Structure 1
Amino acid sequence: MKKGNIQIGEISMESLQMFAYSRTSVLIALQNINESKWDNQPSSFPNTIRWNAGHMYITAEVFLNKADPNYTVMHPEWEKLFIDGTSHLKWLEEPPTKEEIIHALEKQKERILTYSSADLNKDASETQVFHALSLHTVEAALQFVTWHDGLHLGILKSMEKTC
């Protein structure tokens, strides 16, 4: 099937390429932020760099698992630390290290990039509604994850300057 001059499968592959670009940018930024800044909370931000890094990871896990139950959530124990509404101020356990979070984000990138265009074009097993946005396919969930990574990349860069 065609959409304009682009095949539907090509759209899916472009979504994967965009995710790879976005996630690589996140990984480079996180690796370049000195670990001494990871737990500082600038007064104008509700959380820390560590929280934002873990939040990107767990959000992708949850959104992709809801869209595709075959996508297995790794580190489900991180959800209580990093999902929306959580705060580093309420952590009762030691959070994952910088290295553990970066490694998890790298492995997650590898797992996501194994999706085929056929996988991405599947209807989501659970339509997710995020404000006025409804995610009806696995690809829509991936596109949300890509947007979410970019959003938090900007937050990370702003936080680094103020820490």
Structure 2
Amino acid sequence: MGEVIKKEFEIIRTRLHARLAEIPDEIADIQPKGFNNNIRWNIGHVLLVTENFLFPEEGNLPATYKELFAPRTKPSDWNGEVPTIATLVQQLEEQYDRMKAIPNEKFNEKLAEPVLGNETVGELAVFGCFHESYHLGQIMAMKRTVEASLA
């Protein structure tokens, strides 16, 4: 199971990285009409949620990321410094490297308590793949919407 999960994350992260490279910084903070947040929020949210799913005890991200990118947060509530897109992308790459180093047998371990209906680390990781794919779609829809509004 671990090898399959890692392959899925490889596919998703490769596509995410390629798409993020296409997004100019000047549109990353525009919140298109009909969306609850912006591209920068989605990138940070993917990073934070995946971190919480796969590395809940490690504390690899700044504590402020919970205030910025947790579910039900929004850019209009941000105060203070927000990480750059380049920083978030670098952290996604570092996270992916740590993800690849997870021993395959770890994905078979039971969680102390179910999370979103998932009972094993592997089930939660698969849900993480779905979650990243969903937000990649949101990012691309936002990009197209913002570009169309600026044309």
TM-score when normalising by structure 1: 0.85
**What is the number of equivalent residue pairs in this alignment?**
145
Deviations 1:64-86 (A, max 9, x none): 234xx4xx131132111000010
- Alignment partner, residue 149 of structure 1: 132
- 1:23–1:146 contact (8 Å) kept in structure 2: no
- Residue 73 in 1 paired to residue 59 in 2? yes
- Alignment partner, residue 101 of structure 1: 88
Code of the aligned partner of 2:141: S
Structure 2 residue aligned with 1:62, among 43, 52, 59? 52
Code of the aligned partner of 2:75: H
Distance in structure 2 (CA, Å) of the matches to 1:95 and 1:143: 29
Superposition CA RMSD, Å: 1.2
- Residue 49 in 1 paired to residue 39 in 2? yes
What runs of 5+ residues in structure 2 fail to find an aligned partner? 147-151
| Equivalent position SS for 1:119 | helix
How far the C-alpha of 1:12 sits from its partner, in A, is: 2.1
- 1:35–1:98 contact (8 Å) kept in structure 2: yes
- Alignment partner, residue 69 of structure 2: 82
| Equivalent position SS for 1:41 | coil
Distance in structure 1 (CA, Å) of the matches to 2:138 and 2:34: 11
- Residue 91 in 1 paired to residue 72 in 2? no
